[in-house]
Amino acid sequence: MLSDYTNKELIVINPDISDKKELFEKMVNHVYNLDLITHYKDFRKALWKREEVSNTELIPEIALPHARSASVEKIFLCIVLMNDGLHYDNPDLGDVKIVFFMGVPEGNSKEYLQLLAKSSRLLKNEEFKERLLSVNNQDEVLELLNEYDTPDEDDKQSGNYLMIVTVYRKEIVDEAISALAEAGITSASVINASSVARKIAYEMPVFAGLSYMSSKRSESSAVFLCHLSDKNSAMKFYNILKSNSIDLNKSNNGFIQLIKTETLIGNPEEDIEL
């Protein structure tokens, strides 16, 4: 849960700051004073380096600045709320009012991706966002996180499994990728595909009719090949999708297949820059 990575000391409401640079300086200094990072300058450099890749205001009014660094003692989430908003150098999305500021030790990509994906999903919830901006104190923020966030299951069914996810509609592919990350499923490959039914309907003249004449191609879908070390991850992924109004039990969305694998050779985990 997100509350596992934050606490009252890491929640800042309406700080006295005037710009993005001052926000970063204040927050880095704050986590340094809490002994969450060992080297102030190293972490600040990593934070700005990530920001130079692309602006981290990814949702209107919401920013998710983050960095991975050897100076981070343990993964943390610092929440900053600003009712009046702050210019974040991204005029297309407007001023930022909610900041989820994260740091993670090196070599922790899987948990890092989970934290980013879960934060992004919650912050896309308009009701959660509105209630977060109306809180009066840090306790109310923690209560809100516990209300909207879903606790992770403690019991595991360990083993090696191949999960095959077929997603029919291209507009939900990004949601599926985010749900995989939030479920802790990062050892996965994505294949652009098209179902046989769509091939028949859209690309074979005998069956396709006007759809063939107008497009001569079927709409693309996606297939994910995923390695699981916990069988329960499949249901966790399904439930995250369902919470985003994507129910795989309904037609035209997709389906999941889970296969027990006897042998795994090599290391499926991939360490990536974020």
Work out the percent of the chain whose per-residue pLDDT is above 70. Answer: 86
Q: What is the mean pLDDT of residues 88-101?
A: 90
Tell which CATH classification among 3.40.930.10, 3.20.20.70, 3.40.640.10, 3.40.50.720 matches the domain 2-148.
3.40.930.10
CA separation for the pair 239, 168 (Å, rounded):
18
The pLDDT assigned to 110 comes to: 78
Q: Does position 180 have pLDDT exceeding 80, yes or no?
A: yes
The pLDDT assigned to 213 comes to: 43
Mean pLDDT of the chain: 85
Q: Does position 151 have pLDDT exceeding 90, yes or no?
A: no
Lowest mean pLDDT, pick from 109-118, 166-175, 215-224:
215-224
Work out the percent of the chain whose per-residue pLDDT is above 90. Answer: 44
Confidence of residue 81 (pLDDT cuts 50, 70, 90): very high
Q: What is the mean pLDDT of residues 160-165?
A: 94
The pLDDT assigned to 116 comes to: 86
8 Å CB contact between 219 and 198: yes
| Both tokens assigned to 152 | 């992770």
Q: What is the 3-state secondary structure (H, E, C) of the chain?
A: CHHHCCCHHHEEECCCCCCHHHHHHHHHHHHHHCCCECCHHHHHHHHHHHHHHCCCCCECCEECCEEECCCECCCEEEEEEEEEEECCCCCCCCCEEEEEEEEECCCCHHHHHHHHHHHHHHHCCHHHHHHHCCCCCHHHHHHHHHHHCCCCCCCCCEEEEEEEEEECCHHHHHHHHHHHHHCCCCCEEEEEECCHHHHHHHHCHHHHCHHHHHHCCCCCEEEEEEEEEECHHHHHHHHHHHHCCCCCCCCCCEEEEEEECCCCCCCCCCCCCC
Q: What is the mean pLDDT of residues 193-207?
A: 56
pLDDT, greater one: 91 or 42: 42
The pLDDT assigned to 90 comes to: 85
Q: Does position 152 have pLDDT exceeding 90, yes or no?
A: no
CA separation for the pair 81, 17 (Å, rounded):
12
The pLDDT assigned to 207 comes to: 45
The pLDDT assigned to 201 comes to: 53
Q: What is the mean pLDDT of residues 2-10?
A: 91
The pLDDT assigned to 133 comes to: 92
Q: What is the mean pLDDT of residues 24-33?
A: 94
Query: Domain limits of the chain?
Result: 2-148, 158-260
CATH 3.30.70.120 fits 158-260, yes or no: yes
| Those residues with Cβ within 8 angstroms of residue 120's Cβ, 6 or more apart along the chain or in another chain | 58, 59, 64, 178
Q: Does position 236 have pLDDT exceeding 80, yes or no?
A: yes
The pLDDT assigned to 168 comes to: 86
Q: What is the mean pLDDT of residues 49-59?
A: 88
Region of 248 (left: φ > 0; alpha: ψ -120 to 50; beta: rest) is: alpha
Q: Centre a 10 Å sphere on the Cβ of residue 18 and count the other Cβ atoms it contains.
A: 9
